[in-house]
Structure 1
Amino acid sequence: MARILRTLGLSAALGAGAAALAAHTASDWKAEGEPRPPLPVGVVLPAVVRTPAFPLKDARTLFTEAEIAQARENVARYPAAQAVAAELKKEADYWAAWSDEALRDVVTSAEVPRAFDCSTEGCPVHGKKIFEVTQSTYPWIIDPKQPFKVTCPIGGESYPSNDYGKFYRSGFKDRSDFNGPYVDDGRGWVSPTGERYWFVAHANHWTWYWHPQADHHALIKAAESLGRTYLLTGEEVYAHKAAVLLARIAEVYPAMDYESQSRYGEILAAQHHERYVGKVVNAIWESYLVAQFAECYDAIWPTIDGDAALQKLYGKNGRDLRALIDANLLEEGIDAYYSKKTRGNYGMHQRSLLVLATVRQHGDNARYVRDVLDRPDGTMYLGLRFALYNLIWQDGQPYESPDYNATWISNLTAVAGLLPKLGRTAVEMPRLRRLLDAPLDLIAVGNFTPTIGDTGTVYGGIAEENTAAYQWGYRTYREPRFARFLAGTGAGGAAGFKTFESLLHPVIASPARGGSGGRVMPPQASRLISGYGVSLLNNAADTIGLSLYHGLHVTHFHYDRLNLELFAEGQPLLPDLGYPDGMNEMVPGLYAWSINTISHNTVTVDAAKAPGNVAGVVELQADGGWARAVAVSAPGTYPQCDVYRRTTVMVDADATHSYLVDVFDVRGGRQHDYSLHGPPGTFALAGGSWTEPARGTLAGEDVAVGEIYDDPVLGAKGYKGGYADYMGSGFQYLTHVQRLRAGEAVLDYTHEKSAAACVRIRLLAGDGQDVILAQARVSPVKWPQVLHYAIMRNKPAGPGARAVTSRFVSVIEPFESTPSITAAERIELPNGVGVKVQRANGETDVILVGEPGTRKQMSVGEHCLTSDARVVVGTLTKKLGWTRLWLADGTSAQMDGGPRVVARGWTGEVMAVDVKTGDVRVRGTDASQQVGVADLAGRIVSFGAGRRLANTVVGAKRAGGDVVLTLKDDVRLGLGQADGIAGKRVRMKTNFIRANAYRGATLMSAEGKHVGQVRAAGDDWFELAEAPAADWLGADTELWVVGMGAGDACEVPATGAWVRAER
């Protein structure tokens, strides 16, 4: 299952609680039937000419005359628009300079294989160094004027040694020069080691397709630039050259079958008996390729009947050429949608289908639109009305990594823009707007998207600016926040012409308050991304922030639950590693290191990748102005652990300086490894006595770097399969291992991009915990930068050792030049742990962390702090004693036996939920301990037993004896169509890939009628607490999955604060 999902561009959801999720995603993703065998070399496929199934296209339909006129006006007036047009024209001129015959011939027939990778081993001469030198997954130099050749970016030598073009033109018969050192007949050259290098297929693939990491002239760019430049200039040479390409593409397109004509199709069929489908390229990228060809056709369509040179070249009149393209390209592309040969991440193929439908004009458009919007079953093909709730979290985040989620935004906003051309709209769907809000909520300290899963690099940044999507969003919703984001990314006002799509519309006025001070986003308050599972804490100025990931893994994830990232001094200072070396199972370092648990800032249990897939529960998230805390419990991460909880406290030393106290509790298993790492750059030991660096790796002195030592199958000599099933430690990538002999473990990091971006990590080890330093590359192949890992290990000696209980504590301080903390001390307490932090200004902070509702007391000199809260932060000075105090998730705190600082929260019982407005009516309890209703806004509220579901209150008002809460994130977690009832079980036509997140939720009708509380859920069923009594409930009834329901507990954890007037 792992290899099916990740190798197809998705990633697997493995482990406890994920079986239904993975099984359904795979079944909907995969093409049905047996794999097709590879097309033998030398077989020539017959030409296919389809008869159009519908009346021929009779007008340009994708672009209006008004849009074209607006684009030309913008190009005439604005330098930014001129730059976009010039870039398109530059590419178009490259292709316009080709002769018609050469353009026709550069389009290869289906017999020539395709391969997005040449070999995971790199170059026959320079090996994997080509990935590192270029920092690219696709490093080979491709030139369409040197067809079927790849050139090494290091040595400049080209492969293969034979002239494949001569072999191709001979009908695959002339093998006269198949006697050189690197002969490739299309299905690769095999090295003496047995590695196959697909030179010809790789060159062919990247002649068709383009990627930012394969930035060459390619046919997809030819179609894009020629068609768009024609629209902008009206110069028919561009239309003519585009038509030459499109007619030839239409000739060869029906015979294209990626699974039988590609490297990866052959690999998956041979090794796993799986189908890897597509047309020219794999199904994911095919959705973009065929849509681009369709767009180009629409742009130049009016010129075909009058293009005598085109008609002479192909021996067809204009009508016949149009019929060829209508049937062989557009209708073939539409059929590919239904056969899953154009199928990508959600939104890709839906957009592709609507582009094809719009351009084809007279197809079965009602069916296509109905399937895109209203289909109640499937996952990748689920109708948008359902997908907006089942595949997109209640906070607006899709279920993939931020980089991949960005493709959802660009594609689904494009879908929304296409629908009116086909007689429907989607903008009235509120979750669509939330899709645009969500990425902005996720931005930390104004400039960084947390690097969750397959996203970005170790240097951080915004996952995707998505200029076209946010411009559409602003024009549609007039949301000022979208305009500010555009301004922050340099796309505001007359500078907003960044894409071709932007040319089609009037300029968007830049807001008076956009990005400033080098920020993309204005300062935001600490916040919870409740469905996706990210807690963001930051100081008031939003210049120092952390993110804590605790969500459900679906696709493109890493095994990184409770991973911590820190952003300060303008850089990621506890960075994630970013996107791995590749995205297919043949890359061992991807699975053994990059996505493994140990490479992240979290805890590894029993020297193994975390197998469980149950989202964490936000037990506390609160902000006290000068201190704030988050506590998340995620014991489902490792099934052997009943405690797996991280509590992180951020304390402000002043308005511009803050630090973290990080406490990680684990119980279960036999070995715990708490791991942190700083950024690439310089590293220094500021404390402690350490052993000399050992040979070998953390896996052992005799274990080599990258050696699969803990899986006898994958590590066997001569193993040639994939590595998706690796669940080992990843310790074999950590080298230069040192151990603390004495003293304090104090580690200093300075970011390589800024000498003023530093972080100091103090590891406050408990009894029996070993402190280890090690080094690792960011990634085994592409990214050679070295990271220094700080690890605290708890592994009791002896074979009979019981399950381990660990509490790891560290103090993490970002700084510019000189740290403000002079000392930090860990103090063990009954029911918790205390940390004393001394600062250079003479102040001492006292931090208590432990179980809520239990007494914790800590003394510092003559002073004493006592509380039952989960988190307490107090500050002492020599002159005044206690000067400030904040507590969270408790009843009170007492300083030196004096008056108590009382905490106030809010509790109640849910009386009703309005599924249309999202309002939750709650009846409060114990009014004497409640915070005022007016003070609930901005607080995190939890619903259900064990605080299972958290949300943010944005408004509260009294309604009789109750309080009506308005929440930030949607109360609706899913939407489905019922298929019948059997006792307590409701069968569903709709599949729910997040079923394991629905336990405790409530089923309600579209009108808000109560159906029942969910006790358990599966891929296509709900088990309710009681058999539903509703006689109206039957097949085809649409049901909402609602996060809370009548009778659920509601709680805002109590907080309290005190500040001395004299400071």
Structure 2
Amino acid sequence: MKGKIVRTLCFLLVFVLLVTGAACTQSGEEEPKETEQTTERETTTPVMTTTEKQTENQKPVVPEEPTIPISSVFYSERILDTIRRNSTELLEFKAAKQTAVNAAQKYMEMSYDELWGLIFGPELERSWMVKSDGICPECRKPVLMYDWVINVNEHPWKLKCPKCNSLFPKNDFYAYYQSGLDKSGRFNPELADKSLLYNEESGDTKDTFGVDDGTGYKEGDQVYRFIATYLIKGQWKLVILEAIRYLSSAYTFTGDTEYGVRALILLDRLADFWPEYDYWTQGWMYEILQSNQGYISYNIDSAFEVYDLAMAYDKVVEVLYKDPRVCEFLSQKAEQTGNPNKKKTPEEVKKNIDDRFLKDTIANPQKYRSNPPYTELALFTARAVLDWETEKGKLYDEIADIITLNTKYDGMTGESGLNGYATMGKHAIALMCNLFYQADPDFIEKMYERCPKLYDAYRFHIDMYCVNRYFPVLGDVGYFGSTSGIYVNSEGLQNLMLYKLYKLTGDTDLIKILFNTNGRRAQHAFKNFVYLEGIPEITKEIDEIIKEEGSEIELGSVRKDEYQMAVLRTGGGQERTEVWINFGTNKTSHDHSDGMVYGIYLMDADMMPDNGYPNVAYGDGWRSDVVKWNRAVQAHNTITFNNMNHSRTDGVATLWSIGDIAKVIRANAPNTFPGVKKFERSLALVNISKNNTYIVDVFRVGDGPAGTYEKFSRSNIGDLTVSGLTLKETQREYPEYVYMENFQESVETQEVWTADWAIVNVLNQIAYGTKMHLKMIDLTRDENVILCDTWLPPSMAMKSQGHEGFMLPTVITERSVKEGETATFVSVMEPYSRDKSYVQSAKRYSCITLEDGKEYDSNAAIAVETIDGYTDVLVLLDPDLKVKEDVSIETEFGAVETDSDFCLLRFDAEKNLVLIRASKGTYVKLGDNEYTVEDKDDMTSYDF
């Protein structure tokens, strides 16, 4: 009796367990709710969704676990376990898994033959754009560069005009392509059915309007490369690459070999053609063949694609040995196409991909020569996936070398374009470190130990961010006056680096940037790092740091000597003034003739923007006169000599004095022009009050050949008024690519004259500041003054809408010198708002050297009077004079003597001395009173 009771109870217990277990697998279970607190683990039981199930004719294969002779380099069992645990326990990764599975589903619904047939061969030419300066053949409106719309799902093998929605090409190219495939799966136009080359919309078989046979639709001498563009921007990037990425990703999440089988089918077929893809002979760029190396895409993008393909292969390579369907299908295709590699074994398939994809890639880095160090990222990934055990030691050394090389310029690669190209190096380094962290959890620490400037790479953009709104527009980046976001963090892909470097350095600003760029929260900050262990604990740590310190980053003036830029900062909150200067022409790529260019930010306004990225949509791409103009020295707020552009050279900061009232930088870049020893700019940012400032600008050029120097000054888009000039129309001679017009020359110039730009917020870039102005009081001696209009080309988006840009009122001040002479340009710049200027007047004093009793024009002594009755006397001495620097200046406040490179004396309305600020000298003397100055850059301060 007792035994029966026990058996009955056991049976009931099993039944209850089965029932409750079944209940746990019901698809109607509610999704857990996400909170705004720290990342939490998912505690509900995971279920298989319908998208994870195989379709009816693809029944799940669960073969016995064979012995796998290979293993993934970056997706080891440890990493895969973490991925699958995180995607079960953490909400963001549960969603990521579902996204990957959903995205892969359409490729799961294709037959193997359909997947295999997605890959096109090298016989078809490709193009990066339909036409750089083209129009729509239907509506005849401008459709430039990348404006054509491609939607591979709604309109496969078609491009849509964004203006009239017409589709091109008008023929069914896919049918034509299919009709021309030979036995090996290659396109042969001799086999293709020419009767398909007609306009299907009209139905007239003789109508060839909009017809593209793969070589473009031709209209007179104009060629519209619809299919060649679709092959890259549609079939390759949005179908083939997408399929490989999603299928391989779904495999890492689920372990379902069917995803891996399909990814391998695509990778193997791609490998069949890979060595034959040659963008140099097969690809168009700006209507030119043989302009760029590359594989399917041109070289820049090929680097990203090689990286993605190598990563995808590493994710699924083990499936070769886990699932026999790979070889079953590929061996049939090898026989059908006559491939000498029979692909009957995993080793043969692996050899095809290894030899034709990985090894060819490793042997031909010129085909993916990209922004540094993306080429190396792709190359190192391919080498690691091919033979990790042999390459590991060498790769560690080479990666350390590459990081060292690409952090040479204060953590940057040296490319110009602060929030564009200049960010690519640190992003590629982050990807490299993220990747090799998967193979070695101590990798980032090892690289930091060998390359301490790794920290500088992720600190740089924190320091260079201005008024919480801008990175200086320098070189090929952005558009005139464009804002820049918060911090260029590549959608969070740098967050692991930021966190690890915080742990190594203790710099909590790195955590604040991580937090701020993640929507001001720690939750989901590591959504790109499904392989990372301990995410909830890290998230909690970040929250605690922010709770203790807050998220605001306090920045002072900063100088980057290797990148050769500096920022002077004053003010607080929204009432800030910040002045930046590019004091060298050492940028390695994407640079302009912009040595000693500077800019001013007031509140949230860019008062002196740079042109930004050249508009390459005027035909002939980067070779056009519009591009030459955008990069020319005459288009920038700097100086040219005899109409020459700047040479590449290093600038050196020779004075850096940062005080409370005044902040000063002086820098020289000799040989900016051949034989010119002095190309030196001094900027002194001076506070009138907490929120109101002016800038003294002293630009000394010369000590070289005889010739003419021209200094160009412009503001943001606005209207210019001048006083102190008598103007007359004139003509000027410039190179053909210089777009300036409406010249007026001053035939009578007062000793002090003023230009005032009233900024018009045409581009809606200014939200807080109102009635913004930039005033220039010019104090240059013996100059020629010219006013003109400068063409600011439109952005490509503006040009697509028919906009042809703006004319900027420009001031040119000109001085000619004899051999060995120096020209000095002196001005006071005041940015102000609400139509209220605080600088009432300015003038220059005679500045006599005590050694020989002479006055040298390169020594600048200035008085600036403000509306509250205060007067500043400023002295900026030329450090390169052959006489001693001691000077005497007669002022209405008494005689001033000093040998300090910089000196500021402030007097109130009653002529009482209020303060002295001085640096790089030994004394300042006013009348009989002498004040000691420390002979260093640090500011010496006296308050009375």
* Equivalent residue for 1:337, pick from 362, 368, 377: 362
Cα 1:263–1:80 change in 2 (3 A) is same
**Distance apart, 1:586 and its partner CA:** 4.1
For residues 68 and 391 of structure 1, what CA distance do their matches in structure 2 show? Answer: 31
For residues 287 and 158 of structure 2, what CA distance do their matches in structure 1 show? Answer: 21
* Equivalent residue for 2:466, pick from 433, 444, 452: 444
Q: Give matches, 1:200-599, under 5 Å.
A: 200-207=227-234, 217-232=238-253, 239=260, 242-264=263-285, 267=288, 269=290, 276-301=292-317, 314=330, 316=332, 320=344, 323=347, 326-331=350-355, 332-340=357-365, 341-360=367-386, 363=387, 365-367=389-391, 370=394, 372-374=395-397, 383-393=398-408, 395-401=410-416, 402=418, 403-419=420-436, 425-429=446-450, 430-458=452-480, 459-461=482-484, 464-466=488-490, 467-475=492-500, 478=503, 479=506, 480-490=508-518, 494-497=522-525, 499-501=527-529, 504-505=532-533, 506=535, 507-508=538-539, 509-510=541-542, 522-539=553-570, 541=572, 543-551=576-584, 552-582=586-616, 586-589=622-625, 591-599=627-635
State the AA in 2 paired with 1:105: G
Counterpart check, 1:749 vs 2:759 = yes
* Equivalent residue for 2:811, pick from 791, 796, 800: 791
For residues 352 and 567 of structure 2, what CA distance do their matches in structure 1 show? Answer: 51
* Equivalent residue for 1:175, pick from 194, 198, 222: 194
Moved more, 421-430 or 765-774: 421-430
**Distance apart, 1:522 and its partner CA:** 0.9
Cα deviation code 1:841-895 (max 9, x no counterpart): 3322232223145344445544554323222222221146221121223222223
Per the alignment, residue 685 of structure 1 pairs with 720
Counterpart check, 1:130 vs 2:153 = no
State the AA in 2 paired with 1:840: I
Counterpart check, 1:902 vs 2:939 = no
Structure 1 or 2, whichever has the larger Rg, is 2
Cα 1:422–1:242 change in 2 (3 A) is closer
- Are 1:279 and 1:286, in contact at CA under 8 Å, matched by a contact in 2? yes
For residues 195 and 817 of structure 1, what CA distance do their matches in structure 2 show? Answer: 52
**Distance apart, 1:485 and its partner CA:** 1.6
Per the alignment, residue 150 of structure 1 pairs with 159
Cα 1:65–1:843 change in 2 (3 A) is farther
Secondary structure at the aligned position of 1:650 is classed as strand
Cα 1:158–1:325 change in 2 (3 A) is farther
- Are 1:671 and 1:804, in contact at CA under 8 Å, matched by a contact in 2? no
For residues 556 and 781 of structure 1, what CA distance do their matches in structure 2 show? Answer: 18
State the AA in 1 paired with 2:685: M
State the AA in 2 paired with 1:454: D
Secondary structure at the aligned position of 2:423 is classed as helix
For residues 690 and 605 of structure 1, what CA distance do their matches in structure 2 show? Answer: 24
- Are 2:79 and 2:438, in contact at CA under 8 Å, matched by a contact in 1? no
Cα deviation code 1:696-719 (max 9, x no counterpart): xx866xxxxxxxx836xxxxxxxx
Counterpart check, 1:1059 vs 2:943 = yes
Per the alignment, residue 131 of structure 2 pairs with 119
Moved more, 598-607 or 473-482: 473-482
Question: What is the TM-score with the length of structure 2 in the denominator?
Answer: 0.75
- Are 2:87 and 2:530, in contact at CA under 8 Å, matched by a contact in 1? no
- Are 1:395 and 1:532, in contact at CA under 8 Å, matched by a contact in 2? yes
Q: Give matches, 1:939-954, under 5 Å.
A: none
Cα 1:386–1:497 change in 2 (3 A) is closer
Percentage of matched positions with identical amino acids: 18
* Equivalent residue for 2:174, pick from 153, 165, 178: 165
For residues 240 and 422 of structure 1, what CA distance do their matches in structure 2 show? Answer: 24
For residues 82 and 609 of structure 1, what CA distance do their matches in structure 2 show? Answer: 56
Moved more, 282-291 or 747-756: 747-756
- Are 2:283 and 2:289, in contact at CA under 8 Å, matched by a contact in 1? no
Per the alignment, residue 17 of structure 2 pairs with none
Query: What value does the CA root-mean-square deviation take over the aligned residues?
Result: 4.0
For residues 448 and 110 of structure 2, what CA distance do their matches in structure 1 show? Answer: 43
**Distance apart, 1:649 and its partner CA:** 0.5
For residues 859 and 472 of structure 1, what CA distance do their matches in structure 2 show? Answer: 58
Secondary structure at the aligned position of 2:542 is classed as coil
- Are 2:683 and 2:696, in contact at CA under 8 Å, matched by a contact in 1? yes
Counterpart check, 1:777 vs 2:810 = no
For residues 323 and 243 of structure 2, what CA distance do their matches in structure 1 show? Answer: 19
Per the alignment, residue 727 of structure 1 pairs with none
**Distance apart, 1:804 and its partner CA:** 7.6
State the AA in 2 paired with 1:490: N
Cα 1:238–1:659 change in 2 (3 A) is farther
For residues 215 and 314 of structure 2, what CA distance do their matches in structure 1 show? Answer: 36
Cα deviation code 1:644-668 (max 9, x no counterpart): 2111000122233333221212225
State the AA in 1 paired with 2:513: F
Per the alignment, residue 336 of structure 2 pairs with none
Per the alignment, residue 120 of structure 2 pairs with 108
For residues 344 and 741 of structure 2, what CA distance do their matches in structure 1 show? Answer: 66
State the AA in 2 paired with 1:202: T
- Are 2:607 and 2:831, in contact at CA under 8 Å, matched by a contact in 1? yes
Counterpart check, 1:817 vs 2:800 = no
For residues 516 and 604 of structure 1, what CA distance do their matches in structure 2 show? Answer: 51
State the AA in 2 paired with 1:468: L
**Distance apart, 1:499 and its partner CA:** 4.9
Cα deviation code 1:721-777 (max 9, x no counterpart): xxxxxxxxx422x35556668763112225432253334131415333314242422
For residues 68 and 275 of structure 2, what CA distance do their matches in structure 1 show? Answer: 18
For residues 69 and 599 of structure 2, what CA distance do their matches in structure 1 show? Answer: 53
For residues 465 and 393 of structure 1, what CA distance do their matches in structure 2 show? Answer: 20
**Distance apart, 1:483 and its partner CA:** 1.2
For residues 699 and 187 of structure 1, what CA distance do their matches in structure 2 show? Answer: 46
Q: Which has the higher helix share?
A: 2
For residues 697 and 885 of structure 2, what CA distance do their matches in structure 1 show? Answer: 20
Per the alignment, residue 915 of structure 2 pairs with 884
Per the alignment, residue 735 of structure 2 pairs with 710
For residues 789 and 229 of structure 1, what CA distance do their matches in structure 2 show? Answer: 57
For residues 112 and 295 of structure 2, what CA distance do their matches in structure 1 show? Answer: 25
Cα 1:358–1:393 change in 2 (3 A) is closer
- Are 1:396 and 1:438, in contact at CA under 8 Å, matched by a contact in 2? yes
Per the alignment, residue 898 of structure 2 pairs with 867
Per the alignment, residue 56 of structure 2 pairs with none
Secondary structure at the aligned position of 1:544 is classed as strand
Per the alignment, residue 14 of structure 1 pairs with none
For residues 691 and 254 of structure 2, what CA distance do their matches in structure 1 show? Answer: 53
State the AA in 2 paired with 1:296: A
**Distance apart, 1:158 and its partner CA:** 3.4
Secondary structure at the aligned position of 1:263 is classed as strand
State the AA in 1 paired with 2:411: G
**Distance apart, 1:630 and its partner CA:** 0.6
Moved more, 441-450 or 596-605: 441-450
Question: What is the TM-score with the length of structure 1 in the denominator?
Answer: 0.67
State the AA in 1 paired with 2:73: T
Secondary structure at the aligned position of 2:611 is classed as coil
Cα 1:769–1:420 change in 2 (3 A) is same
Cα 1:95–1:463 change in 2 (3 A) is farther
Counterpart check, 1:845 vs 2:872 = yes
For residues 382 and 73 of structure 2, what CA distance do their matches in structure 1 show? Answer: 10
State the AA in 2 paired with 1:471: L
